[in-house]
Amino acid sequence: MPRHIATLTQSLALGLALIGSPPAHAQGPEPQKAVLVTGASTGIGRKITEVLASKGYFVYAGARKVQDLKALDAIENVQSIKLDVTVKEDIAAAVTTVEKAGRGLHGLVNNAGVAIVEPLIEVDEEDLDFQFDVNVFGPYRMTKGFSKLLIASKGRVTTIGSISGILSSPLLGPYSMSKHAVEAFTDALGAELARVDVKVSVIEPGDYRSEMGNNVARRMRERGKKIEGSLFEKELRGLLDRAGQENRNPEPDDVAEAVVHALFDPNPKVRYMVVPSQRQAGSTIRKAIQELVQLNQGHKFSYSRDSLVAMLDSALARLK
């Protein structure tokens, strides 16, 4: 075969091969990442769901009531799932639903939460059980149930805590106890799942608009709770009045954006304090410092001020 014909034949073959094999950058869009959000019907959970869906992620939105499920299904990129984090059968069914969908699961947002507002020496054990069943055992059950999917995707676990997990205010003891437990849950889980490349974060919001205050009052009515005669009657009345004015608080947009960062940034933070005011930020940081000082006070292994400052400088340097 003449040389020029052989060269032409080789060029045609190469051209056909290139036409049949698209370049690496044209292999198609990245699969839509899926996230499951608990307590998605109202407040912070609803905002997280809307923001994730608007950014193109697929959201499995957990809720309990039929009307809430229908409302969530009306949002593009959202599929509602009937889900009560205190019901094991609901969680098992949710796992099956996500598995069958075939998208995998990139992230779990443990948002479902409740609050009990009562003095610790007056609160019923049943109410305390309810507080922990939702706020502590809920994230535990959900994370355990979806752990195989999250490990397979090298995904993320993000739990909604609260600055009340650091600040322990009078009458909010049950709630603060549960959110303090979320702090320990985050640290232990993060250390354990690091070996399988699953990253764990906690979001710690301050006062944002939600339905939690109304839900507190509703549960107290349903339980026949009366504040008359309480040792803290005056304080309870004031706290419940303020809780009923939550609609004056800002929308939780910043909380939702922190969740997006925790779920998708290559280097998510372990803790995200998200507050609407300098006052709330200052109160929280001062309380954390106060605990440090109390831990260091007056024992045979106490550190000097200079040593504490050096530790702080070292911790700040590691964050960089």
Which residues belong to the active site? 175
Beta-bridge partner residues of 34: 58
- Taking the C-alpha atoms of residue 82 and residue 73, their distance in angstroms, rounded to an integer, is 11
CA distances from 43 to 8, 112, 278, 315 (A): 67, 10, 22, 34
- What phi and psi values does residue 256 have, to the nearest 5 degrees? -60, -40
How many residues are listed for the chain in this entry? Answer: 320
Name, in order, each residue with C-beta under 8 angstroms of 225's C-beta and a sequence gap of 6 or more: 118, 219
Name, in order, each residue with C-beta under 8 angstroms of 154's C-beta and a sequence gap of 6 or more: 196, 197, 198
- Classify the C-alpha dihedral 219-249-259-54 as positive or negative: positive
- Taking the C-alpha atoms of residue 303 and residue 296, their distance in angstroms, rounded to an integer, is 7
Name, in order, each residue with C-beta under 8 angstroms of 246's C-beta and a sequence gap of 6 or more: 207, 209, 210, 211, 212, 213, 214
3-state helix/strand/coil string of 95-129: HHHHHHHCCCCCEEEECCCCCCCCCCCCCCHHHHH
Beta-bridge partner residues of 202: 159, 271
Residue 64's nearest CA partner among 87, 48, 43, 44 is 87
